[in-house]
């Protein structure tokens, strides 16, 4: 019942009254985030803080929790969470992006330098964010101090120091519970996972 009453496609078919969609297990804010989700509290917090409004404008009653986070969306999340100042035009490839202002704010704050070093004239707003890149974004945004060696699968990664700093701050535990000896730096971040990372990071905002 929880699944069929909150899953956005199946709900209209399953319930006699489509207007009741989301009321039997659906999230308080978003129809596709049931209260049984382990990320429910994180996503509700994200919405309450104004860091997300949803993924299906203008209705915005969905969060799309399992969709991957793009670099443009990451800029918006961080800009809203930290209340960054506006910045000048920084990149050549985001003129048509709805996240251009967020991206410019991120660049002005030194949280991103771009995606095509050494020129760094592009931001690649539609590319998906890996866990390692997410670590770098958060460490730069929050100014987190270095941490000790924590995971066995990030040796040689250019993001190893960022990953260790994120772990030392308690923002990540790992990707293979309960052992949590790995970080999975190349894996892509979902929107619900990003909600959890930002919720944990809120202590450093």
pLDDT in tens, 144-163: 999 999 999 999 999 999 99
Residue 136 · residue 107 · CB < 8 Å: no
**Rounded Cα–Cα distance for residues 11 and 8 (Å):** 6
Higher pLDDT, 25 or 120: 120
β-pair partners for 130: 188
Summarize pLDDT for 39-84 with one digit per residue, the tens.
Answer: 999 999 999 999 999 999 999 999 999 999 999 999 999 999 999 9
**Rounded Cα–Cα distance for residues 101 and 93 (Å):** 13
**Rounded Cα–Cα distance for residues 36 and 5 (Å):** 13
Instruction: Share the mean pLDDT of the chain.
Output: 91
pLDDT recorded at residue 20: 46
Category of 52 on φ-ψ map: left (φ > 0), alpha (ψ -120 to 50) or beta? beta
Does the pLDDT at position 16 exceed 50?
no
DSSP letter at 128 equals B
pLDDT recorded at residue 1: 52
Summarize pLDDT for 105-124 with one digit per residue, the tens.
Answer: 999 999 999 999 999 999 99
**Rounded Cα–Cα distance for residues 70 and 84 (Å):** 19
Query: CA dist 61 to 30, 34, 56, 95, 153, Å?
Result: 5, 12, 7, 28, 38
**Rounded Cα–Cα distance for residues 111 and 129 (Å):** 14
Q: Which DSSP string corresponds to 62-89?
A: ---TTSBPBHHHHHHHHHHHHTPPP---
pLDDT recorded at residue 28: 83
The pTM score is 0.85
Does the pLDDT at position 18 exceed 50?
no
β-pair partners for 128: 70
Distance, first Cα to last Cα, the chain: 38
């Amino acid at each position: 019942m929880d699944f069929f009453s909150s899953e956005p496609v199946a709900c209209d078919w399953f319930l006699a009254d489509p207007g009741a969609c989301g009321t039997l297990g659906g999230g308080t804010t978003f129809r596709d985030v049931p209260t049984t989700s382990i990320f429910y509290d994180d996503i509700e917090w994200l919405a309450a803080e104004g860091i997300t409004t949803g993924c299906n404008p203008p209705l915005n009653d969905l969060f799309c929790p399992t969709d991957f986070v793009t670099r443009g969306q990451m800029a918006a999340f961080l800009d809203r969470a930290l209340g960054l100042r506006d910045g000048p035009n920084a990149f050549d490839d985001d003129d048509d992006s709805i996240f251009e202002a967020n991206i410019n704010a991120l660049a002005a704050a030194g949280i991103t330098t771009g995606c095509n070093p050494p020129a760094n004239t592009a931001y690649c707003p539609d590319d998906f964010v890996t866990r390692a890149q997410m670590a770098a974004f958060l460490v730069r945004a929050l100014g987190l101090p270095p941490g000790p060696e924590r995971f066995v699968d990030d040796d040689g990664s250019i993001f190893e120091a960022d990953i260790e700093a994120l772990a030392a701050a308690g923002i990540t535990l790992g990707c293979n519970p309960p052992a949590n000896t790995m970080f999975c730096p190349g894996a892509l971040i979902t929107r619900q996972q990003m909600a959890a990372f930002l919720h944990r990071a809120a202590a450093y905002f």
